[in-house]
Amino acid sequence: MKREAIRVCILRVGGTNCDAETKRAFDDLGVKAEIIHFNELLRGRKQLADYDLLVFPGGFSFGDYVRAGAIWAKWFIAKLGKNLEEFMDQEKPILGICNGFQILVEAGILPGFEGISKYPEAALATNVPPGYNCRWVYVKNENRGKCVFTSKIPEKSVLRIPVAHSEGRFVFPKEREKNLLERLLENDQLVLRYCHKNGEPAEGEYPANPNGSFYDIAGICNSTGTVLGLMPHPERAYYGWQLPDWTRLKKVPNYADGKLIFESVIDYLTRKF
Amino acid sequence: MKLYIKRNVPFQLFEINILEADKQQLLQISRELGVGLNLEEMLAIQGYFKSKGRNPTDVELQTIGQTWSEHCFHKTFKGEIVTSEGKIESLFKTYIFKVTAELNPPWCISVFEDNAGIIDFEDNYAVAVKVETHNHPSAIEPFGGAATGVGGVIRDILGVWADPIACTDVLCFGPLDYPYELLPAGIKHPKYLFRGVVAGIGHYGNNMGIPTVNGAICFDEGYVGNVVVYCGCIGLLPRDKYVRRVRDGDIILVVGGRTGRDGIHGVTFASAELTEESEEISRPAVQIANPIEEEKLKRAIIRVRDLKLGSAITDLGGGGLSSAIGEMANRFGLGAHVELEKVPLKYADMAPWEIYVSESQERMLLVVPKKNLEKVLEIFESEDVEATPIGEFTSDGILRIHYMGYLVAELDIPFLFQPPKTVRKVEWIPPKFEKPNFPEPKDLTKELLRLLSSPNIASRESVIRTYDHEVKGNTVIKPLHGENAGPSDAAVLKPLNHSWKGLVISCGINPNYGKIDPYWMAASAIDEALRNNVAVGGRRIALLDNFTWGNPEKPDRMGSLVRACQACYEIAKGFGTPFISGKDSLYNESPLGPVNPTLLITAVGIIPDIRKAVTLDVKAPGNLIYVLGETYAELGGSEYYKLKGFVGNDVPKVRVEKAKNLMDRLVEAIDAGLIRSCHDLSDGGLGVALAEMAFSGGYGIEIHLSRVPLAEKIERNDFVLFSESNSRFLVEVDDNCKEDFERFMHGIPHGLIGKVVKTSSFCIYGLNENVVVETSLDELMKSWKSFLGG
């Protein structure tokens, strides 16, 4: 399909707050992005099926009460689970950034080894060290080609993107940790890992790994590679002037690393449909 | 005689027997109802009701009490001041507003009129700015107090139809290691307050998705009894969407959260001293924060704004409905008809007066023409926010409040806004501190490291990281700069997608100078706020003033307040920078005495192209380092003297004409691309500023104190290194640009004091060219991050 025909649905509820800058990234790439309140889908005024890409942006959906992302995840699955499955079956991509990642995990969509799971198979637990942390980090693309959001990013290359959250420590159930990690790697579902500037793995070391994530996991995709969840905010690393020390450069670059994620999925959509 | 007579109605309503009350009883009534009115005011109320031939209801007396409180009416700033040299008609008009009135810049759109000051920005866009204090609630319950402070100031921005795009916060605490045994009963430990306040601010801003981009934290014994919490917010406003025209018949809606007993008498509480009983008596005055409710409210309001469906909007803050409805009616020369039982409540059984004065959070008053009501309700419904019509504005200038069909209040609006004029007495005796007497320390490296780790200078990284300063993706210069989290002088935002124009936000605060002279404290705060703004490339700067002072009924407190106000006029006028908004918080007293008098100056400038913005980190070895501006032996109130156990008397002054010339020239040099990095000299003077520039950039430096331009003879290295003279900058200039730069700075005091080096060695040569400071960047940064962590 043509780029300008691509329709992006950026969903929001009370507490969503990164929708505008996420839309700005898609606008810049020439696709048609709309910010849609979840109520519009619930009340049938908008149809999920009319869109090609679904985005859960960052924020604190419903105040992140209970657990981050839990309320919206359950509500979404209960009300529109079927529509979502149809959407995914067509291999239309879904992106969850920060709170969006938390929602996708709480909804059982990620890691989604075998489609949507009834119960969450992983969690984004409270940070270690605890507390909200807003900082730029380095992440390495570990995906071998399955994920449609990293297709334009060379394998093993390092991206610089900020995080800002207090619940971003990716964990599997302790007793199945090893097995599930193997499965994740085997399926090529591991996408981004926190690392040092030079690309060396963070190995849990703070602040390179800002939240104590297991295996330095910053982002994963589902078994088909069409759903990506990540804690870093690519929309905050879209333009060169958003970099934390662009004033050190001779000339401000036009774009920053986060753009690659948006570009990749649009590339996928233009080829696939 | 009964003072309170229960009315025979199916709900709680009392008639206050004011007509028969004597002076003693009038004061008793004021005290027992918690309205905080003095005898003169009570007599005025008695006179009013005598003319009406009836007693007031509790609703009426509460309404008057709220409207006439210091917090709502700013009696002190609007009142009459008696000094030994004669009368001052109004502090506000004589000193603060006068700057703006005399300068009258065309880019000031609305000043001191609305919930926020509004200035022009770019194309059709204006910027709204407001800074508030939330000291009293934060002293009782730091998390809730600070969080609702943020929530309140965000609503002030929504209250002028602007979309909030950034928050600021400036906090003052007692020393974190203050001995527990010295705390008076009822006063909470600074460490507890610090943690709670920081968490509360982060909670609200982060949840609302508004970046916290600028701020400061001060520690001083003068804040042990009274914590100070300033919360600021900046909003973006399409000029054609600013609607403020209420007509007779327009519908009054309460929108947002529900009304409860949280926040009853917040304004009365804020207009009284803190005592041992404050916790017990005033706990209900602290509101409960729910940022998600406000996030939804914001969405609905912006949609109503974009469709221009409203006729006015205002925050339901201090005084709740009572002050919002009254003020709006007064402003448009109208009356109002209110049906209180329609207000959605958190729980039943609230008395009408409680509903009318409650300050529950996340509520706003929206006024819409009848024809737009349906559409407005639809918008709120789709955002899951309650919106409830509770009455309408009328043409007769009378406020009539009904509850379940009964008339519970009937007041003439003009009476509500004519309280008896407050008269304050002034006394000012300049303090005299011991002359600091200590020899120049042998090891200045150690002194510099100690300064870097001192509470008022050390890195705030561990606090700033808990605030989302990047959300919205428009923070161009962040509070923490680069890999080493350098302390940026100001934040730069790029609010519009289609324009490179940026907004520059900075602040200035020097409470320690106020101990010597509040005049020079205020002058220095203005200079510092401007310095910080100019250092990144800001210009066309607007100022906001926020006073935190003690009890204005005590002449010495007033004396220092008047001096600070005088400086505000003279210095701001000299710089050509108007005040656009401000707020005062008085009665900050505790068993430990008055708060350290504190003036916060917030500066909002613009930069035509954000790509020209300059940061503080040194960029490349071989580059030259200049100091701009002259150094005096001004160490009174300095961090260095504090370290040595002194206050001193030689407080830094501001030579406003010279300072203005220098700043103007610096901005031109930045625009010409001559400046690679720039940092202002403030707490800890030259030594600290050099260290911050060096470790932020990751290169060492080599400096010669003998080349620092001195305005008077200074023979001590430590004084040159740590003097806090105002209006000074450090700049880094490319070696190739030396001639151009020096030509640019012709006539401006400047000294080429050294250069950036390749290694990580930090070396300063003294007045006699001997090495006086020698250390490494790692050591400097380690000290700097040792106090609060990194």
Question: What CATH number does residue B669 fall under?
Answer: 3.90.650.10
In angstroms, what CA-CA distances link B443 with B64, B453, B766?
63, 16, 12
- Give the E-state strand segments of B478-536 in sequence order: 480-481, 486-487, 491-493, 502-508
pLDDT at B279 (0 to 100): 67
Contacts of A60 in chain B (CB under 8 A): 206-207, 209, 291-292
Out of A16, A164, A241, the one facing B470 most closely (by C-beta) is: A164
Q: How many CB atoms lie within 10 A of CB B102?
A: 11
How close does chain B come to A60, measured CA to CA in Å? 6
Contact A162 B470 (CB under 8 A): yes
pLDDT of residue B284: 66
Tell me the C-alpha distance between B200 and A23, whole Å. 29
Chain B residues whose CB is inside 8 A of the A239 CB are: 473
Q: Do B382 and A37 touch (CB under 8 A)?
A: yes
Q: Which residues contact B47 (CB under 8 A, 6 or more apart)?
A: none
From A241's Cα to the closest Cα of chain B, the distance in A is 6
ipTM exceeds 0.95: yes
Q: What is the DSSP string of B685-726?
A: HHHHHHHHHHHHHT-EEEEEGGGS-BSS----HHHHHH---S
- The 10 Å CB-count burial string (b at 16+, else e) for B368-382 is bbeebbeebbebbeb
Residue of A261, A156, A140 whose CA lies nearest to A203: A140
Helix (H) or strand (E) holding A218: strand A217-221
Phi, psi of B370 (to 5 degrees): -50, -40
User: Could you tell me the residue range of the domain that residue A194 belongs to?
Assistant: 3-272
Dihedral, CA atoms, B81, B85, B86, B89, nearest 10 degrees?
Answer: -40
Residue numbers in B near A164 (CB within 8 A): 206, 468, 470-471
Mutate one of B204, B383, B384, B468 to test the A interface: name it (highest A CB count within 10 A).
B468
Kindly list the catalytic residues of B. 71, 134
Q: Give the burial class of B782: count Cβ atoms within 10 A of its Cβ; 0-12 exposed, 13-18 middle, 19 or more buried.
A: middle
Query: B769 lies in a domain?
Result: yes
Q: pLDDT over 90 for what percent of chain A?
A: 99
Say yes or no to pLDDT of A157 above 80: yes
pLDDT in tens, B323-372: 999 999 999 999 999 999 999 999 888 999 999 999 999 999 999 999 99
| Alpha-carbon gap, residue B266 to B136, rounded angstroms | 9
A253 touches chain B (CB under 8 A): no
Record: contact A133-B466, CB cut-off 8 A: yes
The whole-number pLDDT of residue B268 equals 65
> Chain B within 8 Å of A60 (Cβ-Cβ)?
yes
Q: Are B549 and B622 in contact (CB under 8 A)?
A: no
Q: Choosing among B471, B494, B499, B679, which should be mutated to test the A contact, i.e. which has the most A CBs within 10 A?
A: B471
Residue B83 to residue B332: CA distance in whole angstroms:
36
- φ, ψ (nearest 5 deg) of residue B523: -60, -45
Inside any domain, residue B46: yes
**What is the reported pLDDT for B275?**
73
A249 touching B (Cβ < 8 Å) = no
> Which pLDDT score is estimated for B271?
64
Average pLDDT per 10 consecutive residues for chain B, totaling 790 residues: 92 95 95 90 96 97 91 86 90 95 97 93 97 94 95 97 98 97 94 97 96 98 97 98 96 96 71 69 73 97 98 92 95 97 93 94 97 98 97 97 97 95 92 95 98 97 97 98 95 98 98 97 98 98 98 95 97 98 94 96 98 98 98 98 97 98 98 98 98 98 98 97 98 97 96 98 97 98 91
CA angle, B667 as apex, B662 and B669 as ends, to 5°? 95
C-alpha dihedral over A144, A148, A153, A154, to 10 degrees?
20
Instruction: Kindly write down the DSSP assignment for every residue of B178-233, as one continuous string.
Output: --GGGPPTTPPPHHHHHHHHHHHHHHHHHHHT--EEEEEEEE-GGGSSS-EEEEEE
Contacts with B295 from chain A: Cβ below 8 Å: 14-15, 17
Number of domains observed in the structure of chain B: 2
Cβ of residue A257 closer than 8 Å to a chain B Cβ: no
Mark yes or no for CB contact B610/A241 under 8 Å.
Answer: yes
Q: Which of B31, B56, B81 is the last residue of a domain?
A: B56
Mutation test of the interface with chain B: which of A10, A17, A250, choosing the one with the most B Cβ atoms within 10 A?
A: A17
Q: In this structure, are residues A233 and A162 in contact, taking their beta carbons and an 8 Å threshold?
A: yes
Q: Does A250 touch chain B (CB under 8 A)?
A: no
Q: What is the rounded distance in angstroms from the CA atom of residue A227 to the CA atom of residue A111?
A: 9
CB contact under 8 A, A134 and B468: yes
Q: Distance (Å, rounded) from C-alpha B398 to C-alpha B332? A: 12
Are A134 and B208 an interchain contact pair (Cβ–Cβ within 8 Å)? Answer: no
> What is the 8-class DSSP label of residue B55?
P
Facing A247 at nearest CB: one of B293, B470, B613: B613
- Domain count across chain A: 1
Q: Enumerate the residues of chain B whose CB falls inside 8 A of the CB of residue A17.
A: 207-209, 295, 471
Q: Residues of chain B whose C-beta is under 8 A from some C-beta in A?
A: 202, 206-209, 290-293, 295-296, 382-384, 464-478, 480-483, 494, 497, 610-611, 613-615, 617, 619, 677, 697
Sheet holding B423-425, edge to edge: B86-88, B80-83, B423-425
User: Is B296's CB within 8 Å of A14's CB?
Assistant: yes
Cα–Cα nearest to B520, from B725, B226, B251: B725
The fraction of chain A above a pLDDT of 70, given in percent, is 100
Q: A98: nearest CA in chain B?
A: B471
Asked if A247 and B383 come within 8 Å (Cβ–Cβ), the reply is no
φ and ψ of A229, to 5 deg: -125, 135
SS (H, E, C) A93-136: CEEEECHHHHHHHHCCCCCCECECCCCCCCEEECCCCCCCEEEE
* C-alpha radius of gyration, chain B, whole number: 27
CB contact under 8 A, A15 and B494: no
Alpha helix stretches (DSSP H) within chain A: 19-28, 38-42, 70-89, 99-106, 177-186, 259-272
Looking at chain A from residue 150 to 179, which residues have their Cβ under 8 Å from any Cβ of chain B? 162, 164
Domain limits for position B23: 4-56
pLDDT digits (tens, 9 = 90+) for B739-777: 999 999 999 999 999 999 999 999 999 999 999 999 999
Q: How many CB pairs under 8 A join A and B?
A: 106
Residue contact B481–A58, C-beta within 8 A: no
| Contacts (Cβ under 8 Å, ≥6 apart) of B125 | B236, B237, B238, B239, B495, B496
Q: Which residues in chain B are closer than 8 Å to A252, comparing Cβ atoms?
A: 611
- Please indicate whether, in this complex, the C-beta atoms of B474 and A233 are within 8 angstroms of each other: no
Please say whether the beta carbons of B231 and B150 come within 8 A: yes
List B315's β-bridge partners, or say none: B364
CATH of the domain at A90: 3.40.50.880
Q: CA B620 to CA B623: how far, in whole Å?
A: 6
> CB distance B473–A58 less than 8 Å?
no
CA separation for the pair A142, A192 (Å, rounded): 6
Q: What residue of B is the nearest CA neighbor of A249?
A: B619
pLDDT tens-place string over residues A226-252: 999 999 999 999 999 999 999 999 899
Residue A111's pLDDT is 98
- What backbone torsions phi and psi does residue A211 show, to the nearest 5 degrees? -135, 5
CB contact under 8 A, B470 and A60: no
Question: Chain B contacts of A33, Cβ < 8 Å?
Answer: none
- Reported as a single tens digit per residue, the pLDDT across A98-122 is 999 999 999 999 999 999 999 999 9
Min Cα distance B202 → chain A (Å) is: 8
Work out the number of other CB atoms within 10 angstroms of the CB of residue A177: 14
The dihedrals phi and psi of A124, each to the nearest 5 degrees, come to -110, 95
B527 Cβ contact partners less than 8 Å away, ≥ 6 residues apart: B508, B571, B654, B659, B726, B727
- Biggest alpha carbon–alpha carbon distance for chain B: 89
Q: Given CB atoms, is A240 within the 8 Å cutoff of chain B?
A: no
Examine residue B187 and state whether it is found in any structural domain, yes or no.
no
CA–CA dist B677, B690 (Å, integer): 11
Predicted pLDDT at B310: 98
Residues of B in contact with A63 (CB under 8 A): 207, 290-292
